[in-house]
Structure 1
Amino acid sequence: MPTPGTPLPAALIPDCTKPEAHRAAYRSAKANDAIFVCIARQGSRWKVELDAFSSSGPTIPEQAVAVLRSAIEVLVSDGTVTQANIAPDYISIWAIKSEQKAREIAAAFHAAMHGLRQLYIAVPVPRRRA
């Protein structure tokens, strides 16, 4: 089992299709001070959800969110996903064709969010003066 607060490999991303599984996985992430990540079946497709509000770390800066947004734009433009919502602490990506692809995307974005947060902690982005 990975150390709490570290990125999960694709095989360990929880399937939160059932509401009780979602609640349990979110509680676990919160208890471990980790970024929440899951996949869920939606009809014949899959959804990926990430939520950094489950952890106490800093908000991911907008410059870093731009990197995540660019990756999502590529996934949308090549048809891998149909839609996504992204904010500094939350990402939702849906209409993914297979569970395997959803797990791959979830693991990659979980690692990216975790890494960008760690980078921001080590090298804070200077604040602009008004």
Structure 2
Amino acid sequence: MGVRLINGVSACDDVSMPTPGTPLPAALIPDCTKPEAHHAAYRSAKANDAIFVCIARQGQRWKVELDAMASSGPTIPDQAVTVLQSAVEALVSAGTATQANIGPDYISMWAIENEERAREIAAAFHAALLGLQQLYTAVPSQRGRA
């Protein structure tokens, strides 16, 4: 596995995902263009009980992928997914991404123009997912209360 320097920081194909509750800065989002890099980063996320996040080159453009199922944190509630969906739709409407998929524990956007923008988007959504999980854990559920 190779090492790639991004802003002087090593972003190895076998990069470790952050500890649970810690957003990953844009410069450290792993480049999982190679399938073996993707598998290694996902295994690392699962081992560290962290939300998986990566970018990957697709032709001349980039893809962003996040998967909260790698962590044991709570599933993001529907009302929070609606907020994330709005942000994804805004990126697609603006032409920043051409397509996207989003669910309560998965976000994927592709055909992003450049690596820097893909990293910025990946870091922002990673921080948002972590924050929503923490909020959901901290705030008592109103379900089932009369």
Name the TM tier (shorter chain): over 0.9
Match of residue 12, structure 1, among 20, 28, 38: 28
TM-score after normalising by structure 1: 0.94
Match of residue 35, structure 1, among 51, 55, 69: 51
Within 2, Cα distance between the matches of 1:125 and 1:73? 28
Within 1, Cα distance between the matches of 2:33 and 2:75? 27
- Structure richer in helix, relative to its length: 1
Report how far residue 119 of structure 1 moved.
0.3
* 1:71-110: CA deviation from partner (whole Å, max 9, x where unpaired): 0111011111111100000000100000000000000000
Percent of residue pairs identical: 78
Where does structure 2 lack aligned partners over 5 or more consecutive residues? Answer: 1-15
> Structure 1 residues 11 and 75, CA, compared in 2 at 3 Å: closer, same or farther?
same
Instruction: Within 5 Å, give how 1:44-59 maps onto structure 2.
Output: 44-59=60-75
What amino acid is the match of 2:66?
Answer: L
Q: Is the CA contact (8 Å cut-off) linking 2:17 and 2:50 kept in structure 1?
A: no
SS for the counterpart of 2:23 is coil
Report how far residue 128 of structure 1 moved.
6.0
Q: Is the CA contact (8 Å cut-off) linking 2:102 and 2:108 kept in structure 1?
A: yes
Deviates more, 1:33-42 or 1:2-11: 2-11
SS for the counterpart of 2:64 is strand
Within 2, Cα distance between the matches of 1:60 and 1:51? 11
SS for the counterpart of 1:15 is coil
Paired residue for 1:122?
138
Paired residue for 1:77?
93
* 1:39-83: CA deviation from partner (whole Å, max 9, x where unpaired): 000011100000011011110000001110010111011111111
TM-score after normalising by structure 2: 0.84
Where does structure 1 lack aligned partners over 5 or more consecutive residues? Answer: none
Structure with bigger RCO (C-alpha 8 Å, 6+ apart)? 1
Within 2, Cα distance between the matches of 1:88 and 1:16? 22
Match of residue 107, structure 1, among 92, 100, 123: 123
Q: Is the CA contact (8 Å cut-off) linking 2:75 and 2:133 kept in structure 1?
A: yes
Match of residue 98, structure 1, among 101, 107, 114: 114
Match of residue 66, structure 1, among 67, 82, 87: 82
Q: CA RMSD in A?
A: 1.5
Q: Is the CA contact (8 Å cut-off) linking 2:62 and 2:112 kept in structure 1?
A: yes
Report how far residue 124 of structure 1 moved.
3.5
Deviates more, 1:116-125 or 1:15-24: 116-125
